[in-house]
Amino acid sequence: MKLKVKLFNKKLLKNYLAVLSFISLICSFVFIVVEIPDNCKMCVGIGFAFSLLTTYVIMWIIANCQKETTLNINNSTMVVKTGNIFEEDELKVIAFNEYFDTQVDNKIVADNTLNGIYIKSKINDVSELDKLIDTDVDLNKKVIQNNHIRANGKKKKYRLGTVFQNHDYLLTAFTKFDDDNRAYLSMNDYINFLLNFWNEIDIIYAGRSVSIPLLGSGITRFKEFTISEQELLELLIWSFKVSRIKFTYMSKVSIIIHKSKSDKINFFKLKED
């Protein structure tokens, strides 16, 4: 077990005091009707103190082992949990590059990314998907450049945050690509992506739940700054908050953390923040 929550974490102590208050209330009623013999009071006191200590240690262990948390943001429900994006219900977000490339060759699209796995396992006819993307009227309004000098891959470059719906999958232009087909983002790019992305989700979701992977935790290179998985997650949550989108009951937003990244996420801290 990786220790992500300190032993004397402020929120953990606050939660413990709430539990302690409840236990004290129960004990007060019990001791009114139950009289403890004088020769047993010492043993009962030691046992009670040990029980309180054990309760705190158990709460601390649970906080460190936590793999899911639910947040209420703008009267919307957001669930952060460990899981598999492809096993989620309703709408699921898959990050593409700014060209919506579909060429899985480990040069343009790596086959071990969510992008590559989606194309290989969920798309029967890649050329048909390419045609749908290329001819979509709304999508073409978000083309910012036709990069004709690009040697491999598609030529149309889309605004970051652009979303194309393909059945129950939402494909989004997430990363920029350099001349060597390496995905990268600056902090400004990332913030702009998040704000544009939530605006597009607000238009599309239509009362359905949306599941999102931890965007940027894969092979994306962040220029001029380093960022941890925890910080990426907190930025994603912050951007949802400032977007003012409201997911009405029973729809919700879920951020899905791959099991390989779960040890890097302090789920307890999210509730604390």
List pLDDT tens digits, range 77-91.
Answer: 999 999 999 999 999
Q: Is 183 helix (H, G, I), strand (E, B) or coil?
A: strand
Enter the pTM of the model: 0.86
List pLDDT tens digits, range 46-73.
Answer: 887 888 899 999 999 998 888 999 999 9
**What does the longest C-alpha to C-alpha distance in the chain come to?**
91
The H or E element containing residue 170 is strand 169-177
Residue-range domain boundaries for the chain: 10-65, 68-272
List pLDDT tens digits, range 207-240.
Answer: 999 999 999 876 667 776 778 899 999 999 999 9
List pLDDT tens digits, range 25-45.
Answer: 787 776 676 676 767 767 867
CATH topology of domain 68-272: Leucine Aminopeptidase, subunit E; domain 1 (3.40.220)
Q: Are 210 and 91 in contact (CB under 8 A)?
A: yes
Q: Are 185 and 216 in contact (CB under 8 A)?
A: yes
Q: Is the peptide bond before 250 cis (omega within 30 degrees of 0)?
A: yes
List pLDDT tens digits, range 134-147.
Answer: 999 999 999 998 98
The predicted pLDDT at position 220 comes to 64
Mean pLDDT across 194-200: 94
Alpha helices in 34-113, H assignment, sequence order: 41-65
Q: Residues with Cβ < 8 Å from 48, sequence gap 6 or more?
A: 27
Mean pLDDT across 106-132: 92
The yes-or-no verdict on residue 166 having pLDDT over 80 is yes
